[in-house]
Amino acid sequence: MNFTDLAQVFDKVDKTSSRLEMTQLLANVLKLADAGEAEIICNLSMGQLDPPYVGTKFSIAAKNMIKVLAGLLGQSDAEIKAKMDNLGDLGLVAASGQWQNEHSLTVQDVYDALKSIEQLHGVGSAEQKIRQLQELLKQLDPTSAKFVVKMVLGKLRLGFSDMTLIDALSWMATGDKGLKKDIEYAYNKCADIGLIAKMLKNEGVEGLLKLHVKLGIPIRPAAAERLPTAQAVMEKLGHCVAQPKLDGFRLQVHLDKTGPEPKVWFFSRNLQDMSYMFPDLTAAVAKLPVKKMICEGEAIVYDPHTKVFLPFQETVKRKRKHGIEQAIADFPLQVYLFDLLYVDGKSLIDESHMMRRETLLTILDNADAHMIPGAQNVQLSLLGAAEQPKVGDVVKAIDEKYMTDAQQLLNYFQENISAGLEGLVVKRPDSVYTPGKRNFNWIKLKRQEEGHLDDTIDCVILGYYYGHGKRANFGIGAFLVGVYNKFTDMFETIAKVGTGLKDDDWRDLKKRCDALKVEQKPKNVVCNKDLFPDVWVHPELVCMIRADEITLSPVHTANKTLEHLGFALRFPRFMGYRPDKLAKDATDIDEMKHLFKIQLMR
């Protein structure tokens, strides 16, 4: 397939706001592609060369892209910058150019060229990248060049997520959404949308149904629902098990010891490979007495002197690329494993929670969870699934207690709250693991505040307002946030936030937002014109919002229909960022409906 044909499809997708039209355009081009091309197209359409767990990083700044386009168009850097300021986008500058092109590069040609550019490192690589990128663009038409420029700059935002691609793959195969559930299930087990497309092309849906979990490719994590009281949890689950809920990094750990050297991967909640950040955890995990394993846990920073866990904002400081050795000393981690998904060639996701738990404890040689001798703070003793595990003091199993009535569950909940923990995750003992799904197999029971929401809402920042008075000096005075609607693959507004930040926080927020600034309302945002911000932001930045309650609003679009008012947050307050979450993994409309229902029950 010629890249020009793909670029024309991208151009049509870029110009439509119809989800159905986007889906059909993508389905048509995928139908024409061979298996290898389908894999590339799925990744390119998401603005990446490889899936998130591999990552894509060109390290080409806007100033260097200006040099590329200056050489391509025969103009000065100043002229290209002036055009960028006028058009608002270097991709549009490329699209406005004219140059001689007698080449016809294929999708594979362009992918290979971009991969070659991405892999350039070391002394002189910046200049070499400029030369190679310029040579690539010369062989493309202006429309194709536009999308290549946007991709290299990390700004290829076509207005849809992987959920729309799943729909498109079903349309490609059958002409409707009939295969959506099967394709999504395969994707949840093996979070590589390009690989899923390739397998569907080569092996059909039968191949996807036989797909096994793969070491080195993350499984999309299961999620918990919420209920307000211990009584409500017991009414929903009956006899259950409860685990302490930690406020740390959720990690999916993969271990492969079949080669000459052990391989250990740590994948974040948003499926990114964070392995290089945790050499201390790697050393401990590599000691586990298995050949292959996939498990899940929560990594949290603790004070080794007081034995107290530190807040999430301290744990997040371990998420860094440089100064890792010092970070290990300043922010030592422990990882508490709470599930086992695969071991030595066998997938356990269809086994019961109790069976997975027993196997995990056997691996950790710690079947009898009990308190750590000499623990000076109840926080660690509550987690006491491990008394000095053989893998060291770093990797442990989370504590788990069997619950038979609401009072027992409430007592354990209060015990954890008194210890400074977030609460509990309560689970059905016979439940299978459900990749990528949120359901009542797991239920969060967190600290309650009478008359308030039980929990923070994970919202996506959609834009900001300039503000007045003192905040006018910051260039930002309030910001607009929304929640995700997975059925429409859109973000819908829920609050305008103006409290919870100090002066430096406002400056930092503006800097973060400006890095994601876009000239017009993103196509995947639904917003009432009365709420349009002064500056639109690509929906990527996730933050925590606390509010007194959920109200109904004629203005906000969250869950709004012709028959129903939208949801809004009363007295919303900024509480911090969630760098471990993708925008589409933030609080969604289904959760908001459930939280609103809980609120009405009270």
Structure confidence at residue 331 (pLDDT): 73
Identity (one letter) of the amino acid at 465?
Y
How do the domains of the chain map onto residue ranges?
223-446, 457-601
pLDDT along the chain (602 residues), means of 10: 96 93 96 97 96 92 93 92 90 88 88 96 92 94 95 92 95 94 95 96 93 94 91 95 91 94 92 85 88 94 74 68 70 89 95 96 60 36 43 81 95 89 93 94 76 73 88 89 94 95 93 92 94 95 92 93 91 90 90 85 66
User: In terms of C-beta density within 10 A (0-12 exposed, 13-18 middle, 19 or more buried), how is residue 529 classed?
Assistant: exposed
Distance of alpha carbon 146 from alpha carbon 256, whole angstroms: 41
Tell me the per-residue pLDDT of 52-69, one tens digit each, with 9 for 90 and over.
Answer: 999 999 999 999 999 999
**What pLDDT does residue 377 have?**
39
What number does CATH give the domain 223-446?
3.30.470.30
Q: What is the pLDDT of residue 391?
A: 58
Tokens describing residue 265: 């991967």
Say what the pLDDT of residue 385 is.
42
Cβ contact 257:293 at 8 Å = no
Task: Supply φ then ψ for residue 403, to 5 degrees.
Answer: -115, 135
Continuous H helices in 286-405? 312-315, 324-330, 353-363, 378-382
- Taking CA atoms, 576 is separated from 53, 60, 405, 458, 541, in Å, by 25, 30, 35, 10, 11
**Annotated catalytic residue, options 245, 496, 560, 581:** 245
Q: How far is CA 460 from each of CA 336, 484, 542, rounded to the nearest angstrom?
A: 28, 8, 5
Give me 266's structure tokens: 């740590």
CA quadruple 103, 106, 107, 110: dihedral, nearest 10: -40
In 55-179, which ranges are continuous DSSP H helix? 62-73, 77-87, 90-95, 107-118, 125-138, 142-152, 162-174
What is the per-residue pLDDT for 43?
Answer: 96
3-state secondary structure of 309: strand
Tokens of residue 469, six digits: 């008075």
Do the Cβ atoms of 596 and 550 come closer than 8 Å? yes
**Beta-carbon-side half-sphere exposure of residue 447 (alpha carbons within 13 Å):** 14
Backbone angle region of 216, left / alpha / beta, with phi > 0 → left and psi within -120 to 50 → alpha = left
Q: CATH code for 457-601? A: 2.40.50.140
Clarify whether 319 is annotated catalytic. Answer: no
